[in-house]
Amino acid sequence: MKPPASINNEWYKDTIFYELRIRSFYDSNGDGIGDIKGLTQKLDYLQDLGVTTLWLLPFYPSPKKDDGYDIANYCAVDPEIGTLGDFKKFLTEAHRRGLRVVTELVLNHTSDQHPWFQRAQRAKAGSADRDFYVWSDTPNRYTEVRIIFNDTEKSNWTYDPVAKAYYWHRFFSHQPDLNFDNPKVQQALIHALDFWLALGVDGLRLDAVPYLYERDGTNCENLPETFAFLEKLRAHVDKKFPGRMLLAEANQWPDDTVRYLAGGNKCQMAFHFPIMPRLYMALAREDRFPIIDILSQTPPLPASCQWGIFLRNHDELTLEMVTEEERDEMWAFYAKDPRARINMGIRRRLAPLMENDRRKIELLNMLLFSLPGTPILYYGDEIGMGDNIKLSDRNGVRTPMQWNSDKNAGFSKAHTKRIYLPVIDDYTRINVEVEQNDSLSLLSWTKRVISLRKKHKVFGRGTCTFLEPENDKILAFIREYEDERILVVTNLSHNAQHVALDLSKYHELTPIELFGKTTFPIIGKTPFILTLGPYAVFWFSLEKSQPDTDSVTLPDFLKKSRWFGGKGRMIEQIQVSDNVVNVTYTEGPSERYFVPRILVKGEWVDAFQSPAFCRSLLKMTKAPIRASKIRLLESEQSNTSIIFDDCYILKVYRKLSEGKNLEKEIGLHLTQKMRFPNTPKVVGFIESNPMAILHEFIPNTKNGWELACEALQQGKKFLSEAKLLGKRTAELHIALSSDTKNKAFSPEPYGSLYQQSLYQTMRNQAGITFRQLRRGLSALPSDMLKLATKVLDSEQMLLARFSELRTLPLRSHRIQIHGDYHLGQVLYTGNDFMIIDFEGEPSRKSSTRTIKRSALYDVAGMLRSFHYAATSTLMKEEDAKKRTLLSTRAEIWYRTISREFLTAYINTAGNASFLPADPAEFRLLLNISLIEKALYEIGYEQNNRPSWLRIPLSGLIDILERDSP
Ligand code: GLC
Ligand code: CA
């Protein structure tokens, strides 16, 4: 069993620990006790959470009077929770998921049930067996030594009636200390270490490591002998198991703790005990001093070493590393109820300590994830689990993990009475399942922080410099590593605060807030002013204002692709798996795109360039077709189409979506059911993502757009074409609305509710488009600025027009329409038009596209397209004189063919229910549709082709002018 593939010798610097108790995690066999198999079943959860190292509390045979830290056999598994075989399987499964595993090596003591102790009790005084432990005839030795479990123990010596002597113990009296002066003891423990590392465990937590030796006249902590032993242990590990890690549990002041890492030849990691209570203290006092003060007393570490930092763990929140006054202050603040106090600390979990205030929980977590060191999460704290101070010892923070709202919080199927510790009673509200389904839950938030943390090596490896703003309630520091710089600003106060930060060293850099990717004003030489809400935290990446453009990245590639619909949106994250790129934005829903690609000379190239790839797609449609000539359709926009032998065209959807494919449904309805002749036949499709439709290809055609532009350039009329187009459009609508038996294609009345919602939709769209337009004003050239201002000035008028949708009862029917109808969607065969592409506007969700609408929306689409053709032809003319001439001609052209098209449409539709009979209704629906189209175009052009923005702006003005009474 090997550790995860990459032997990265300093993996512990970039990892995220998750500390858990197997007995509390998940019970797979319903006996009321969590077990190894149960943990193995929950590995997917841990992987999804994003943690990368699991630290397992002791799981060895033990009387469990100290929750397993009282070991009775070092090289076996407690039968209550499984077998060694289960553990091996667990380890393989964890490693397969890239999770490392750290277990416990309890060096200092064993249980009094350990055979070594029982042998020692009976062995002759002075023999090697007896000397496995520390004996004395008097309890008056080592009197300077403190008592750690001072609530239960009165002395560190206990008299043993069998041995007729006192034995030494730093913890409970049932936990005799091993005697490290005896070489056999050292050998026995190295044997235990070999046993677990040989199985593949990635690291060991050395429990209670400061107390290994006893020497007269000292406090028996941090003795030179202990460091010598650790050097020996480390040399052994490096030789036999390179890459494995030793973590020191030394609850000491920084100067002493650092000695466990000194020289880089002892442990690689040590917990930073003193910082922990100070995080709570700083929050209670609303003052950054305790944190900065302790870190300034922390000596630098050898390059290969790392701190482990934590907020909570399986023990009490220890207050050993604070002053007496501070301990009183902390108890008074965080443990008013005396039952919450134990030994020198507080037995509570994070959420109750924070009074379940999400802002404070998040604040401490943000510090945990951004201060120097590797963060260690305690199981259950990611969901905000509570505690139970009525339970004995530290059991109140060791209760079963809360998975769902079922009996026993889904932890175990056993009868509730048989659960080893009672579940916390708020579990129906606080559990994994509930929180997984809630994007705003603490769990979801924790996942986001973890994933953000993992993206920036600087957090695990960077230097840390504290800023000293005048406002003491603000804790601000800068982490730096290679070319990454992150600024962390925290408001420790329950009130809003402002702060002026001296960032002059970083002037000309731009702070980008990491969660939302929001850009803040560029840093100047004067103080950087920030306002922070209560308990607010910011993580800013300080970036060079000019982004590097040397290498072609995936986002660049996406932005260059015409089918990418997210150009106007701020990308938060891009995840690639197989051929699918998942794009999350800072706002709004995420999108998935089908992006098969190959890397050629450092540049991403679309796999569609490869004929073999295209052929494999054709095969997937299951159509009995073989192709020899393959080409891509050049005018393609939102998708990619492949043409096979000029006979078939396969349209492959770039944007993946759930739900049914409307284009396929409509295609089958029109060609198979209605036998509508003016659309190409559907001959096959790929149903699941990627979705694709295979149609007959109509060769040697021009599309309506090319045809219209050509006519415009050559000064040709377009009358008969426009007339034919009007007729075919009406026929299409008839075909889409006359199968009254099929709910998907039968006409529906409007109703006042729908009218109201239509009004609201229009209003929203106008509001958003206007806002965007207003923001972009400064970037517009002067002539466009004039148009844009005029459009913006018309807002009230527009809203008034929309408002009629609420008052005029609509009598016509709404139907399934084409949805994205324009000149590019009709092919001219020489004497007729074929209508294609029933996908709808690409930016709309497929479920929205099935909502029936006014047929006049398609009509408006075509009219807008005529206007586009006329205006864009005009835009190409560089000569100003010619342009004026053209402009009059274009305008006449546009008006004439629009009239021709409309007349033919109305005549063909006759008394179809989708055609409003009342002229006022007709006018309202047509104009509203024209406005909606123009608004959509304005939004689109502003994001994608700013130089074209002129067309919809002038279009909208024209619509409004002609519409006015
Ligand atoms: C460590 C453990 C604690 C245990 C003690 C004695 O401090 O974290 O849980 O009680 O050692 O083994
Ligand atoms: Ca069990």
Q: Which residue's CA is the closest to the ligand 1 atom numbered 9?
A: 315
pLDDT of the residue at 620: 87
Residue 170 CA, closest ligand 1 atom number: 6
Q: Which residue's CA is the closest to the ligand 1 atom numbered 12?
A: 69
Record the tokens describing residue 325, joined without a space.
Answer: 């006054």
Burial bucket for residue 425 (CB in 10 Å: 0-12, 13-18, 19+): exposed
Residue 961, C-beta contacts closer than 8 angstroms, at least 6 positions apart: none
DSSP structural state of residue 145? P
How much is the mean pLDDT over the chain?
92
Q: Which amino acid is at 740?
A: T
Within 6 Å (CB) of ligand 1, which residues are found? 66, 69, 171, 207-208, 314-315
What backbone torsions phi and psi does residue 104 show, to the nearest 5 degrees? Answer: -100, 135
Mutation test residue for ligand 1: of 171, 174, 209, the one with most atoms within 8 Å of CB? 171
Distance 208 CA to ligand 1 centre (A): 7
Percent of the chain as helix, strand, coil, to the nearest 5: 40, 15, 40
C-alpha distance from residue 145 to each of 133, 156, 219, 228, 342 (Å): 17, 8, 5, 21, 20
Residue 108 CA, closest ligand 1 atom number: 12
Select from 267, 312, 271 the least CA-distant residue to 19: 312
Distance 90 CA to ligand 2 centre (A): 15
**Considering just the CA atoms, what is the radius of gyration of the chain in Å?**
36
Catalytic residues, by residue number, are 207, 249
Rounded to an integer, what is the distance from CA 445 to the centroid of its chain?
A: 9
**Ordered DSSP codes for 212-232:** S---TTS-SSS-HHHHHHHHH
**Residue 63 preceded by cis peptide, ω within 30:** no
Residue 66 CA, closest ligand 1 atom number: 10
Residue 252, C-beta contacts closer than 8 angstroms, at least 6 positions apart: 210, 221, 222, 273, 321
101, containing H or E segment: strand 100-106
C-alpha distance from residue 892 to each of 859, 899, 961 (Å): 19, 11, 16
471 vs 652: CA distance, rounded Å:
58
600 vs 197: CA distance, rounded Å:
43
Q: Is the dihedral of CA 334, 171, 398, 189 positive or negative?
A: positive
Residue 151, C-beta contacts closer than 8 angstroms, at least 6 positions apart: 342, 343
As averages over each run of 10 residues, the pLDDT of the chain (965 residues) reads: 53 98 98 98 97 98 97 98 98 97 98 98 96 97 93 96 97 98 98 98 98 96 97 98 97 95 97 97 96 94 97 96 90 95 96 98 98 98 98 97 98 96 96 94 96 96 96 97 96 96 94 90 91 97 66 67 78 75 82 78 75 87 87 78 91 81 88 93 83 87 90 88 97 94 92 86 90 92 92 92 91 94 92 90 68 94 96 81 82 93 97 96 95 94 89 94 73
Mutation test residue for ligand 1: of 69, 112, 344, the one with most atoms within 8 Å of CB? 69
- Ligand lying nearest the CA atom of residue 105: 1
- Ligand lying nearest the CA atom of residue 82: 2
Q: Is the dihedral of CA 594, 600, 603, 605 positive or negative?
A: negative
Distance 207 CA to ligand 1 centre (A): 7
Are 875 and 946 in contact by the 8 Å Cβ rule? The answer is no
- Ligand lying nearest the CA atom of residue 62: 1
Tracing tokens 């739900």 back to the chain, one arrives at 659
Record the tokens describing residue 886, joined without a space.
Answer: 């053209």
Select from 269, 376, 307, 272 the least CA-distant residue to 18: 376
Model confidence over 204-243: pLDDT tens digits?
999 999 999 999 999 999 999 999 999 999 999 999 999 9
Ligand 2 ion: nearby residues, β-carbon < 5 Å: 27, 29, 31, 33, 35
**Ordered DSSP codes for 567-589:** TTS-EEEEEEETTEEEEEESSS-
51 vs 45: CA distance, rounded Å:
10
Three-state DSSP at 385 gives coil
pLDDT of the residue at 560: 75
Are 916 and 907 in contact by the 8 Å Cβ rule? The answer is no
Distance 70 CA to ligand 1 centre (A): 9
Q: Which residue's CA is the closest to the ligand 1 atom numbered 3?
A: 315
Q: Which residue's CA is the closest to the ligand 1 atom numbered 7?
A: 208
- Ligand lying nearest the CA atom of residue 58: 1
Q: Is the dihedral of CA 559, 562, 567, 568 positive or negative?
A: positive
Distance 407 CA to ligand 2 centre (A): 16
pTM here is 0.72
Q: How many CA atoms lie within 13 A of 342 on its CB side?
A: 19
**Ordered DSSP codes for 301-368:** PPTT-EEEEES--SS-EE-TTS-HHHHHHHHHHH--SGGGEETTEE---HHHHTTT-HHHHHHHHHHH
Residue 355, C-beta contacts closer than 8 angstroms, at least 6 positions apart: none
Distance 54 CA to ligand 2 centre (A): 19
Q: Which residue's CA is the closest to the ligand 1 atom numbered 8?
A: 315
